[in-house]
Each structure stands twice: as C-alpha cells, then as structure tokens.
A and B are shown apart, each in its own frame.
Chain A
Amino acid sequence: DQQVKQNSPSLSVQEGRISILNCDYTNSMFDYFLWYKKYPAEGPTFLISISSIKDKNEDGRFTVFLNKSAKHLSLHIVPSQPGDSAVYFCAASGGGSNYKLTFGKGTLLTVNP
C-alpha cells in the first residue's frame, strides 16, 4: 500500500511559467514533509520541507503548501527555469523519526525553453 502518492509521472511547462507538483499521503502519523530533486546519475538533493504545524513554507522560487485535512501537499516553482528539469520526489516522516523517510514514486518535470 503506497503511503505517499505522486499521481503524475511527468509534467511539462514553459520556461517562466509556474510548475505545480502534487503529492498525497494516507498515513495520519506523518507530520513532516520534504521535497527532493534528483538529476540523472546523482543522489537526491533536498529542496524544501514543511512541518504539519504550518500550511506554507517558502524558499526563493519554491513554495510548499500543506493541506492536512485533504492529506495533500504541493510544490510550486515560480518562475520555472530549464535547470529545474529533474525528477521531484515527495517524502514524508512522522512519529519523531524524521530519519525514516517514505518516498513517492516521483514526478519528472521538464521545463522547455
């Protein structure tokens, strides 16, 4: 049973526009959520996180929104740049064990010049 779901395997946007990546979770114990970015042949790199006590966290062009009642989070990238083209993984943890992450399957974002 997948506890973290990214239902869009891929997303294509134009440079300068907004990219919105979505993630749903089923485990009510999750209280910390992260987004990782992964380029081919490299390890994932941390992008942004949000605690369940917040509903929004912003870092430059990246904003993560959390809707606890819907068990849904989204990552907004504005404006999108070609260098943002990568696989984006949503991850979650909970119960004070933030070192144990449950990942979604990832969304391949392609930003076209």
Chain B
Amino acid sequence: NAGVTQTPKFQVLKTGQSMTLQCAQDMNHEYMSWYRQDPGMGLRLIHYSVGAGITDQGEVPNGYNVSRSTTEDFPLRLLSAAPSQTSVYFCASSYGDNEQFFGPGTRLTVL
C-alpha cells in the first residue's frame, strides 16, 4: 500500500492564482481530512469528509473548497490564493475511530 499520497510536494503561486492540491489514499478509509500547519502552530483542520459525496468545514475553511467524488481522492482547491495561505498542507485518512494516517505534506508559498 502507498498509504496517503499528496501532490505536489512544493508549489509557488502568485496572489490570485488558483490551484488544486491532490490527496489520495489506497486503504479504503472512509474519513479524509485536510490540515494546515503554520510556524509555531499546531495542525488546524480545514475541511473533512466522512465518505464519498459528504464534506464539511473544519476550523479554518475560508478560501478553500473540497469535494469527494470517490473514496480514494480528496482534492483541496484554492480558488484565489492569498499570502495568508502560505503554509504546509497535510492530508489524512482514517477508518472508523482509529488513528489518522497523514500524507507527507505539500509546502505552498503564495507571493
């Protein structure tokens, strides 16, 4: 199993550009989440999904969109990037009440 994979590993955007961060898992996990980590901060939940077709907002959802059309994939879309979205983004998945497995992260810089 590849576990949780994220692409790209690094990305530089200009303010106002849009992009999609990809996340995929091959463990047939029902739950998937996106977190961001900023310097000196813990991980903060952006959006999450409890299954295909079901998504909901986390602690810091503004500026981000998600969709979940399949069990495996959970992309995170930035519609109009802002410098405040410079961060490291982690995708995670889990099954039931078990611990979450995290991907390696995407480091995003918005100029």
A-side residues, CB < 8 A to B, are 4, 6, 9, 32, 34, 36, 41-46, 49, 89, 91, 98-106
Identity of the chain B residue whose Cβ is nearest the Cβ of A99 in the assembled complex: B31
Instruction: Count residues of chain B with CB under 8 A from any CB of chain A.
Output: 27
Chain B residue nearest in CB terms to A34: B99
Chain A neighbourhood of B94, CB < 8 A: 98-99
Cross-chain contact A104 with B42 (CB below 8 angstroms): yes
When each residue 2-17 of chain B gets 1 if its CB lies under 8 Å from chain A and 0 otherwise, what string results? 0010000000000000
Contact B100 A42 (CB under 8 A): no
Q: Are A103 and B44 in contact (CB under 8 A)?
A: yes
* A49–B97 alpha-carbon span in the complex (Å): 11
Contact B104 A43 (CB under 8 A): yes
Distance between Cα atoms of A89 and B97 in the complex (Å): 19
Let me know if B105 and A42 touch, CB within 8 A. yes
From known contacts A99-B33, A99-B100, A100-B33, infer whether A43 and B45 are also in contact, taking CB-CB under 8 Å.
no
| Contact pattern, B 31-62, Cβ under 8 Å of A = 1, otherwise 0 | 10101000011111100101000000011000
CB < 8 Å neighbour of A105 from B40, B92, B100: B40
Some 15 contacts from A to B, beta carbons below 8 A apart, are: A4-B42, A41-B105, A43-B92, A43-B103, A43-B105, A98-B98, A99-B31, A99-B33, A100-B45, A100-B58, A101-B35, A102-B45, A102-B59, A105-B40, A105-B42
